Structure 1
Amino acid sequence: MDNILELVDKLKSGKISLENFIKLYEENYILKHNDIHVDTFRNKRLGFDEVIYGRNKTVEQIKDIISLYEQKKLRFFCTGLDNQKLKELKLSFPNLIICEKSGTAKNFSSSKPRFSNSVGVIAAGTSDSKVAYEAIETLNALGIPNKKYIDIGVAGIHRFLHYMDDFKKHSVLIVIAGMEGALPSVVGGIFSQPIIAVPTSVGYGTALSGFTPLLAMLTSCANGITVVNIDNGFGAAMAAFRIIQQIENKNDR
């Protein structure tokens, strides 16, 4: 399969006709099945493969997507899966690697670390751990070194303080919290690295399924915190990936 830029060059130079260009592009870069259109060129554009959000897809839709990926021998990574979906997918695709802790599935082993910069994944409570593990699995899939710190929230701040020296070693910190969402402000007020805050839907009534920590993080007095959506461990990991990729690209120049 030619690189898309090579195909464009061949079209410009007249080595292939417009009709052949369209045919080759559709065959190699557009995977279609019913309402599914798989983006196979995302890695060339952005540096990472398309990731499938499985929460609102049926098992049959996810199976169709996996089949399309395997047909083209492409890597597959899916987030937002409950245990029932994971069980059904594993029955249909025995080689699928599933992780119940994170609600993810993939058809490849985690990449060896390909970056020198690392990410610290900090979760306020064990109730926030599924979001943390989603971030961790995504980082592993991208080949980013990471270390997890779970159940060290502000309700027992001494637990957090115990890891102060460890946090300094990471280039990016992902900070995950539900309830009142205070932990990212604490981290952002102490450490200079990019801080990516993730509100979770954990908490009693007035936590409002994550909106209270979301608003708290958006109005944090610790300057420069980045905030992603509620329970979006995947989005936090992708934000960290973009930052680290730019750091390392700059260092290679």
Structure 2
Amino acid sequence: MTERETAELLRAYKAGAIEEEDAVKRLQQRAFEEMGFAEVDHSREARQGFPEVIYAAGKTKEQVLAIMGRLAQTSKKSILATRASAEQYAFVRAALPEVRYDAVSRMLYIEREREGKTRAHRILILSAGTSDIPVAEEARLTAYLMGNEVITHYDCGVAGIHRLFAHMEDIRTARAIIVVAGMEGALASVVGGLADCPVIAVPTSVGYGASFHGISALLAMLSSCAAGIAVVNIDNGFGAGVLASRINQQGNEGNSV
């Protein structure tokens, strides 16, 4: 509910046009919508600047369609579902033709006008290897749909560190950097020692046996001696994209190009 709508409701209650019980129900209904299998948080956008994002894994295609449809009706911003399948996409698209699907990041979305702060503030995403790209693309598309200018450089890990140094200008001028790495996760420490902006490290489940499906990279990133590094969960490109977006869109201070 917008401030204007809330004010109108309160004026109606004060004037005696509606009962207290009815006013309370209207406020609750505008805050979230009970759908039986989900309580859709329509006030998320007012609180955090972006509509509720759907986690599609574990949901039926009918549930994804119902939630996405209601969000699309109540918001003018982009709508996003993460970890979606091609089957869910085909079902949702039949009812919502504007829906698009990115098979690499497994993201289902409706793209609308993006409201970024400024193109001079940019997020940089680096991946250690090509196998890390699906998680990096989840971060990229999340940040992009939230209104940010995003630059990517993939497959520039420490096994050939000269590839990373070729991107020093982008590292120097980024407002936030997302580093996506599996194996031993060393790239985050290297970038953390080079950058003067916040670095968000994303461990991935890429690697052989002793990498323990991303646990080795997670622990290495958490144990980094480089300052200014935050770590999100294994394979959580979405969480990194959201955090980078919030950093990037705070005021006008900081690095710019």
**Alignment TM-score, normalising by the size of structure 1:** 0.89
- Asked whether 1:176 is paired with 2:190, we answer no
Bigger mean CA offset, 161-170 vs 106-115: 106-115
CA contact (8 A) 1:97 1:109 kept: no
Q: Deviations over 1:182-238 (max 9, x none)?
A: 000000011111000000111111111111100110001112310001111110011
Q: Deviations over 1:104-138 (max 9, x none)?
A: 11123362543341100111111111111111111
CA contact (8 A) 2:51 2:75 kept: no
RMSD of the TM alignment (CA)?
2.4
- Distance 1:110-1:174 versus aligned 2 partners, 3 A rule: farther
- Deviation of residue 86 (structure 1)? 2.7
Q: Specify which of 44, 53, 56 is matched with residue 51 of structure 1.
A: 53
CA contact (8 A) 1:194 1:225 kept: yes
Match of 1:111 in 2: 114
Q: For residues 62 and 194 of structure 1, what CA distance do their matches in structure 2 show?
A: 34
| Matched AA of 2:49 | G
Q: For residues 42 and 163 of structure 2, what CA distance do their matches in structure 1 show?
A: 44
Give 3-state SS (helix, strand or coil) of 1:165's partner: helix
- Correspondences of 1:5-84 after superposition (within 5 Å): 5-6=6-7, 9-10=10-11, 13=14, 16-72=18-74, 75=77, 76-84=79-87
Q: For residues 75 and 143 of structure 2, what CA distance do their matches in structure 1 show?
A: 22
- Distance 1:239-1:71 versus aligned 2 partners, 3 A rule: closer
CA contact (8 A) 1:11 1:17 kept: no
Q: Specify which of 192, 196, 199 is matched with residue 192 of structure 1.
A: 196
Q: For residues 2 and 199 of structure 2, what CA distance do their matches in structure 1 show?
A: 39
| Matched AA of 1:28 | R
Q: Percent of aligned pairs with the same residue?
A: 38
- Asked whether 1:150 is paired with 2:154, we answer yes
Give 3-state SS (helix, strand or coil) of 2:21's partner: helix
- Distance 1:70-1:195 versus aligned 2 partners, 3 A rule: closer
CA contact (8 A) 2:64 2:88 kept: no
Bigger mean CA offset, 147-156 vs 88-97: 88-97
- Deviation of residue 33 (structure 1)? 1.2
Q: Specify which of 126, 133, 137 is matched with residue 133 of structure 1.
A: 137
| Matched AA of 2:227 | N
- Distance 1:60-1:169 versus aligned 2 partners, 3 A rule: same
- Distance 1:150-1:196 versus aligned 2 partners, 3 A rule: same
| Matched AA of 1:138 | T
- Distance 1:204-1:64 versus aligned 2 partners, 3 A rule: same
CA contact (8 A) 1:7 1:21 kept: no
CA contact (8 A) 1:123 1:132 kept: yes
Unaligned runs of 5+ in 1: none
Unaligned runs of 5+ in 2: none
Q: Specify which of 216, 227, 237 is matched with residue 233 of structure 1.
A: 237
- Distance 1:36-1:249 versus aligned 2 partners, 3 A rule: farther
